[in-house]
Amino acid sequence: MADTAKPKGRTARSSGTRRRGRKDTSPGIANEKPETLLDYYRQMMFVRRFEERTAQAYTQARIGGYCHLNLGEEATVVGLMTALQERDYLFTNYRDHGYAIGKGMDPKRVMAELYGRVDGVSKGWGGSMHMYDTATRMLGGYGIVGGQLPLATGAALAISYRGGDEVVMCQMGDGTTNIGAWHESLNIAKLWNLPIVFVVVNNFTGMGTTVEMSSAEPDLYKRGAAFRIEGERVDGRDVLAVRDTASRLIERAREEQTPFLLEAWSYRMKGHSVVDPAKYRTDEQKTEARSEENDPIVLFGAKLSEEGILTDELRDEIAASVKAEVAEAAEFAENSPQPEVSTLFDYTYATPVPNESTRMPADPVFAE
C-alpha cells in the first residue's frame, strides 16, 4: 500500500521536512495528450473562478444559507470526476459545487441553484448543499455529515441487484470517518460485495477540529481495514495522481464487485464556509493552506509551463474564457426567475393522495 505523503502526525504545519509532498507522484506527464492536460487545467481554473464568484455573490446576498467552497481542492475534484464514467453515480457531501460541474451539470444551472431560481438544477429547492441531477447521475449533495453514505451504499446495492456495470462514488470529508453511518455503510458495502468507492477528501480539518483531535486512527485510508476494504492515499493536489488512483479503484470496483477506499489530501484554502474567517488557524497554518506551493492550480500550471504545454498566451486565453463563462453563469442565475409561491406544494409527494395539506401558515385548517 503506497503511502503518498502528507498526513502523519500533526496537521497543517510548515516545517522544512515536509517538502516531499511536492514530488511528482503521477506517472510521466509526457505520456499525456497536451489537450487533455490543458483541459484539466481549464477545469480546475473553472472551479476556482466559479467558487470565487460564488463567494462574491454570497457576500452580496445573492446566495443564501450555508455555502461551502472547493477552493484548494480543485485537483481532487477534477481528478475524481475525470476518473468517473458517465454512467457511474456520484454522491457527495455539502461541499459539492465543483463536483456537480465536474460530473457534467451545466454551470449556469448550478449557479442558478445557488441563487435559488427556477432554472437551478433542483429548481431552487436545494441550494448550495443539495446539487442534484438525475441526467448526469449526480445524486446529491447532502447537508448531514455521513447522510450520503448509506444512500450511496444502497445505490450500489441496486446496481448489484440488477447486475449492472455502473460504479458509485461516495465523496465525504475527513470528519465523516467517525460517524456511525461510516462504519455501518462500509461494513454493508463489503458484506454485500457492492461496487462503490468511498472517497475521503482530507483537508485536515472538520470545520475547526483537526483530524488528530477527532480520529483515533488519523491515517484515514487505513480505516477500511476493519471491513477488509483496501484503501489508498493520494496527494489531492495532483490532478493526474488523483485521476489515476481513482480510475484504478473505480475499475477494480467494477470488475471485482467490491468496495474500495480512497483518501485524497489537500488544503482548504479558506474557512469551513464563506462566512468562516478561520480564526482557529494559526498564522502558520493559514500560510500553509494558502501557499502557492500547495495550490493545485499553481502546481499544475507550473508543471505544464515547464513542459512547454501551457504558454503564456494559452494561460491568458484560458483565463479569459473561464472568466467569461463564469460571468455568463452568474448572469444566467441573476436573470432566472424566482420560483412562484403557487409551486410550494408541488414536490412534497410523488404519488398524490387525498388530504395532503396545502395550508399556508395562517390558513384555517378547515377552509369552508
Partner 1 sequence: MSVITYRQALRDTLRAEMVRDENVLVMGEEIGVFEGSYKITEGLLKEFGPRRVKDTPIAEEGFVGSAIGAAMLGLRPVVELMTINFSLIAIDQIINHAAKIYGMFGGQTSVPMVIRTPGGGGQQLGATHSQNIELFYSFIPGLKVLAPSTPAEASEMLRAAIRDDDPVLFLENLGLYNSKGEVADDYAEPSNDNVATIGRAKVTREGSDITLIGYSRMAMVANQVAEKLAEEDIDVEVVDLRSLRPLDRQTFVDSVRKTGAAVICEDDWLTYGIGAEIAASIQEGAFDYLDAPVRRVAMAEVPMPYAKPLETAALPSVESISTAIKETLSAVGKRVG
State which of residues 102, 120, 195, 301 lies at the interface with partner 1 (CB under 8 A): 120
Q: Is 239 in the site for partner 1 (CB under 8 A)?
A: no
Of 56, 161, 208, 321, the one binding partner 1 by CB under 8 A: 161
**Cα distance between residue 131 and residue 18, in whole Å:** 36
What gap in Å lies between CA 239 and CA 305, rounded to an integer?
15
**Among residues 52, 106, 184, 325, which is the contact residue for partner 1, using CB under 8 A?**
184
Q: Which of 67, 69, 121, 250 binds partner 1 (CB under 8 A)?
A: 121
Q: Which of 142, 221, 300, 332 binds partner 1 (CB under 8 A)?
A: 142
Best CA proximity match to 174, nearest among 101, 95, 242: 95
The radius of gyration computed from the CA coordinates of the chain, to the nearest angstrom, equals 21
Cβ neighbour number for residue 228 with a 10 Å cutoff: 12
Give the CA distances from residue 366 to residues 52, 175, 346, 359, in Å, rounded to whole numbers and listed in that order: 49, 47, 21, 9
Q: From the CB of 172, what's the least distance to partner 1, in Å?
A: 14
Least distance from partner 1 to the Cβ atom of residue 221, Å? 21
Report in angstroms how near the CB of residue 292 gets to partner 1 at its nearest. 38
Q: Is residue 358 close enough to count as binding partner 1 by CB under 8 A?
A: no
* 259 touches partner 1 by CB under 8 A: no
Of the candidates 125, 222, 247, 252, which one interacts with partner 1 according to CB under 8 A? 125
35 near partner 1 (CB under 8 A): no
Choose which of 102, 147, 231, 259 interacts with partner 1 (CB under 8 A): 147
Residue 296, CA distances (Å) to 31, 49, 214, 301 in order: 20, 14, 26, 8
Binding to partner 1, residues 81-100 (CB under 8 A): 89, 91
Instruction: Pull the grid cell for residue 292.
Output: 502557492
Terminal-residue alpha carbon distance, the chain:
70
